[in-house]
A and B are shown apart, each in its own frame.
Chain A
Amino acid sequence: MVGNKSRNGRISSLIVNIVLILVALACIVPVMLVISISLSSMDAIYETGYTFLPRGFNFKAYEYIFRDMGQILTSYGVSIRVVLIGGFVSVLFTAMIAYPMSKKSFRYKKQVTFIVFFTMLFNGGLVPSYMLMTNMLQLKNTIWALILPYLISGWNVMMVRTFFQGLPDEIFEAATVDGCGEYRIFFTIVLPMSKPAIATVALLQVLKYWNDWWLGLLYIEQDALVPLQYMLYRLMNNISEMQRQMMEGLGLGAETFPTEPARMAMAVVAAGPMLCVFPFFQKYFAKGMTVGAVKG
């Protein structure tokens, strides 16, 4: 009986791992292809087709991107600043609004929830937002233009709220009886108990800020404030325009275009740093975080 059970356990754990590995492969193989192309030469690609191992191995693509080292460093700096400030403030404010929303006894729960939810469906569109940022708030060409619009996302608020709702009621009752104010409960009990949820939101926000080029495109014209993703977006996106000009014979001389390997190299350069940040968040996805909090 017991032996049978553990065998079942082993088989199920085997199946689980096989599925997980297959999915992991599906996720990683295309990424390897990207890296491989970024290290290949274009001629080799046209000769043998696309392969998972680089052909005609070279670093030309990376040289192309890094030839303007100063701008790359500046852009990394901007992106990091945006991620740090934006990530922190965003998580704090998101959790702060999600907490009252999660309480059944909060009188305006429904209203606040609807106000937040409504923003997820409706937006005024590009032109009014642009007017707001440039004419009313005068935020064009400031770092705040890259941070403020994304601080509160309805999606995150709803998610954290749902997490909070799952916390056991007894703790709150106990704390209220002890005479703790809501702020104290929030900071000393709720936040530490919800580390996985907070880490999730933090991760998602950090990714959102890191991956964004749209705000840069709209509001940044000075090179000193160009975030990394926008810089790469520019490099990529200008290609097609330059090619159009070339076909029309508008330009005077010939230009050097980033080739396909260069475009892949950009993707590597853009995503690389985030992969290093990832383990930091994963600390909070380890098991048993909440257990300790509930029992302790």
Chain B
Amino acid sequence: MSKVTTTAKKEIRIRHSKYENKRTFVLLSMCLPALILIFIFNYIPMGGLILAFKNYDYSKGIFGSDWVWFDNFKFFFKSQDALRVTVNTIAYNVVFIITSLVGALIIAVFLYEVRSKKLLKTYQTMYFFPYFLSWSVVSFIVFSFMEYDYGILNNILEKLGMEPILWYSEPKCWRFIIPVLNLWKTIGYNTIVFYAGIIGIDPTLYEAAAIDGANKYQIARRIMVPQIGALIVMMALLKVGKIFHSDFGLFYIVPLNAGSLYSATDVIDTYVYRALVTGGDTGMTVAIGFYQSLVGLCLVLLSNWLVKKFSEENAMF
């Protein structure tokens, strides 16, 4: 420990803290516009979350309605399908996270290898095509493949001399179809995020590695992936937060809400929708959403804590 006179130390600290205060103030001012918007459009409506614990009566308003505490949660937790839909939701999301991250990472690394700018542009544009299509259009595409009488798949089967298949009554196939569709639809989006990260890496790092005799695979594994590690972790963490949610379009509209497929396609969101679509109750809907978010929050905090243990800088906060 070095011995500096206390007064000098103090002065430096004061000067420093004054400067720091000003800097903090400036930085805060940069946050301000976004914070105000977030406050108005996200946090004010959050007051409505208390509806999860109330029996909402329109005429009494959000705050005047009677408390029912956990009654609104009952319908889901007492339901015989709660287990099935929860397992489905989590299983699909885990598969989604892995496939979409790995897939996009591979494609992004491959794209980096493409030297021709024209080709690069063409690839990227094409990868984004599926992202433009709404799920209802995707459902038509899937339908045109799997329709019983006129669908492309059955046409092919017929030409091969095989029996046509009732695709919308085969839950087994859908366990496979759904992750593929998800990957297909989001690949362009995720790729572009990773690609933007990769081209942001200082190229001198590759040059150095190449001189050391590293091959492409090694460069990708030892340099690219660690360099955008924070990005990968963040994307994964954010998806973990949504692990109890699922894309309604993918699970409801695309399988045409076929009852025979429920064992494979029923997730929390579709179950709740189906149960509450007739005479659905605002309180129950909010309650389920609240529960999904709460679990998501816990999981994110937990995984963030784990990440932090391994590498401090990759953690989200």
Contacts and interface: CB of A to CB of B under 8 A. Distances in A.
To the question of whether A and B form a pair in one complex, the answer is: yes
Nearest to B198: A196
A292 B228 CA distance: 20
Contacts of B169: none
A148 B37 contact: yes
A122 B46 contact: yes
A182 B202 contact: no
A147 to B, nearest CB: 11
Interface residues of A, number: 105
Contacts of A181: 26
A110 B308 CA distance: 14
* Majority-rule SS of A interface residues: helix
A204 B230 CA distance: 20
Given A27-B127, A194-B200, A285-B195, A96 B110 contact: no
B305 interface: no
Contacts of A101: 31
Contacts of A157: 34
Contacts of B129: 27-28, 31, 271, 275
A115 B45 contact: no
Interface string B110-138: 11011001001111111111111110111
Contacts of A285: 120, 124, 192, 195-196, 199
Contact of A100 (B27, B149, B231, B234): B27
B62 interface: yes
B125 A279 contact: yes
Contacts of A294: 202
A184 B307 CA distance: 34
A152 B45 contact: no
B316 A117 contact: yes
Contacts of B20: 107
B300 interface: yes
Contacts of B151: 49-50
A132 B45 contact: yes
Contact of A159 (B26, B141, B193, B203): B193
B48 A106 contact: no
Nearest to B125: A278
A136 B290 CA distance: 24
Nearest to B132: A271
B164 to A, nearest CB: 11
A257 interface: no
Given A20-B111, A125-B45, 5 more contacts: A27-B187, A124-B48, A129-B45, A275-B129, A291-B202
Interface of A: 8-9, 12-13, 16-17, 19-20, 23-24, 26-28, 30-31, 33-34, 37, 45-46, 48-51, 93-94, 96-97, 99-101, 103, 105-110, 112-125, 127-129, 131-132, 136-137, 148-149, 151-152, 155, 157-159, 162-163, 165-166, 168, 181-183, 186, 194, 196-197, 199-200, 203-204, 207, 211, 236, 260, 263-264, 267, 270-271, 274-275, 278-279, 282, 285-291, 294
